Structure 1
């Protein structure tokens, strides 16, 4: 009985891992890189309700809410600000803004919802208070990239569309931590937006998300996920999104930007909380995401093993295939998502993802925190 040639086995395993990675780049991520918006015969302007929930975010409200209130939108829109039991100066800042902006509607919550943890209760109240069918969600720490945010987000709706996914980015700041945060955010956006373009939508982000009020009410809101502290954005979309009812918009004017964390501890805590919802995704989404994460995680260790135990020339040749395809697609995708300054760093940032997965893997099994802010 012939002995197993471990060098060849390791190399062919590396080839298989690379093939899967290249498949994801070519089948999914290329849809962002080569994205072209649909041409429309006529423009449409629906009345829009923007929903923003805030708890103890007086500084963010003062800094960012005016950017939502001064939108250049000729049709009707309102901004519903839900002040969720804040003990800072949020109430007074909202009242001052109300004097200038009549489109601002303030909802004051003074009691906690029992058995409903996280952001779902205040968001549900805001949605039920909304006057219009088209809902546009963002956070208090977010600001639209332009005054055309509302107009272009609602313009993505057609007869079948009930959900519009936008990109929620972070402000560009000096330092490596900012690049790591923004690359991880870009990487997440690359996935959920490209999956939706491929007909397999699985999540959205509450920083930049739109859906119809009827869709929310028809599915009984967050009733099926009220026991889960987070998930008001990704789990709800995972439940109700289909290939036909979900649209994607990629336009620099439709991006929202948030203030990134400035410390490793703050960022790690934030990301750990976000990853606790992934275990509740539909099985097909968990499989697709899990296969991609596993092959990305094991790519560089298997490359190193193939170089050591097989033939470095063949191993680097296979690596070069992924490197070239990855570079082309990431360059174009980063330009589409206004993150092109990250491209010169993409090889380093891609290698960093190995350590990123090591750090955050435990969050997939960790019990979620009940705090939403």
Structure 2
């Protein structure tokens, strides 16, 4: 049996695993119906950690203050900002009595560490239920707190939400950023539904104070400056305590990076954090990526050499159909339908970007926070 035979049979195996992954793994979220929840009016503390975010605080805080929820406070953490973030916080606090400010000074032992600032904010929060977002995030509706808080119950102490990015017309980079965000969300929602939650995003994440202190906060990864969201969830979440929230009123939206360089820098930080996940999570995520890489590589080689091309085209079509079904239904749920037409092209671009980022991270360590 020649080399091309081995490549062809490897291609068959890759397609088999990928079709099963898209239909039966990602399908757990893609074909999931949104269950109805009842508003519980739980006391919630919305926590925002800001470092040099004066402009964003001024623009986005009104959307938090306007939330139609009767029992919540906003905890604003000023993480040693050098701009006028603190004065803007104080201006809002003077007009709204449900705003609490935690002013964090630089600490020699935790210099520039967001987790230290967040810990102080969590300790200062009045309420048991904590809802996190970023200073540059805006809830898409006035029911954001209601929707996220409704998933807490006696068993569910962690709620994973969706943090979207704003659309920029005719921007390929914007589509790539939103596609990567979409893929990540589909994966962590699907993993959670399969009983193996592995991450969440700080743009839209909720958990209880009890869960935070039971996990000893961020202590196990305090020296890793990134990962206040995904590393915490990776450690604390399990198949019984984690819920997902993907109703359209529960999303947050952020302004995306507008240059490839800044997005590249951001993703370097995120990828460097993933190496600290639990081993079985890392193995599963690496396997998914390797299968994607092999699929496109083997498709290209076999078609260029016209080896069993009719079979290759048929198997390629089956995989693409499964891919479109899983991502198409998921994109509809998460209001990202405009990406569907570009899916295969965005997947190839993302694979190339991830390889480039991985190589860069091997050469030098990325910087974290601000």
1:52-91 correspondence runs (5 A): 52-74=48-70, 76-91=71-86
Find the partner of 1:361 among 337, 358, 363.
358
Q: 2:303 aligned with 1:313, yes or no?
A: no
Unaligned 5+ residue runs, structure 2?
Answer: none
Instruction: Provide the residue aligned with 2:202 in structure 1.
Output: 206
Deviations 1:103-143 (A, max 9, x none): 11111112335146531011001100001111000100111
Q: In structure 2, do the counterparts of structure 1 residues 366 and 72 end up closer, same or farther at CA, with 3 Å as the change threshold?
A: farther
Q: In structure 2, do the counterparts of structure 1 residues 224 and 182 end up closer, same or farther at CA, with 3 Å as the change threshold?
A: same
Q: In structure 2, do the counterparts of structure 1 residues 323 and 148 end up closer, same or farther at CA, with 3 Å as the change threshold?
A: same
Instruction: Provide the residue aligned with 1:23 in structure 2.
Output: 20
Deviations 1:155-180 (A, max 9, x none): 01121001000011101112111101
Q: 2:350 aligned with 1:347, yes or no?
A: no
Instruction: Provide the residue aligned with 1:270 in structure 2.
Output: 266
Instruction: Provide the residue aligned with 1:123 in structure 2.
Output: 118
Find the partner of 2:245 among 231, 249, 253.
249
1:276 and 1:158 map into 2 onto residues whose CA distance is 34
RMSD: 1.5
Calculate the TM-score normalised by the size of structure 2: 0.96
2:47 and 2:360 map into 1 onto residues whose CA distance is 29
Q: In structure 2, do the counterparts of structure 1 residues 84 and 340 end up closer, same or farther at CA, with 3 Å as the change threshold?
A: same
Instruction: Provide the residue aligned with 2:87 in structure 1.
Output: 92
Instruction: Provide the residue aligned with 1:335 in structure 2.
Output: 332
Report the CA distance between 1:369 and its aligned residue: 4.3
Query: Which stretches of structure 1, 4 residues or longer, exceed 4 Å deviation after superposition?
Result: 363-370
Instruction: Provide the residue aligned with 2:319 in structure 1.
Output: 322
1:363 and 1:216 map into 2 onto residues whose CA distance is 33
In structure 1, the residue corresponding to 2:41 is in which secondary structure?
coil
1:90-169 correspondence runs (5 A): 90-115=85-110, 117-169=112-164
Bigger shift: residues 361-370 or 138-147: 361-370
Structure 1 contact 145–257 (Cα < 8 Å) conserved = yes
Instruction: Provide the residue aligned with 2:299 in structure 1.
Output: 303
2:368 and 2:344 map into 1 onto residues whose CA distance is 36
In structure 1, the residue corresponding to 2:109 is in which secondary structure?
coil
Unaligned 5+ residue runs, structure 1?
Answer: none
1:368 and 1:70 map into 2 onto residues whose CA distance is 41
In structure 2, the residue corresponding to 1:49 is in which secondary structure?
strand
In structure 1, the residue corresponding to 2:26 is in which secondary structure?
helix
Calculate the TM-score normalised by the size of structure 1: 0.95
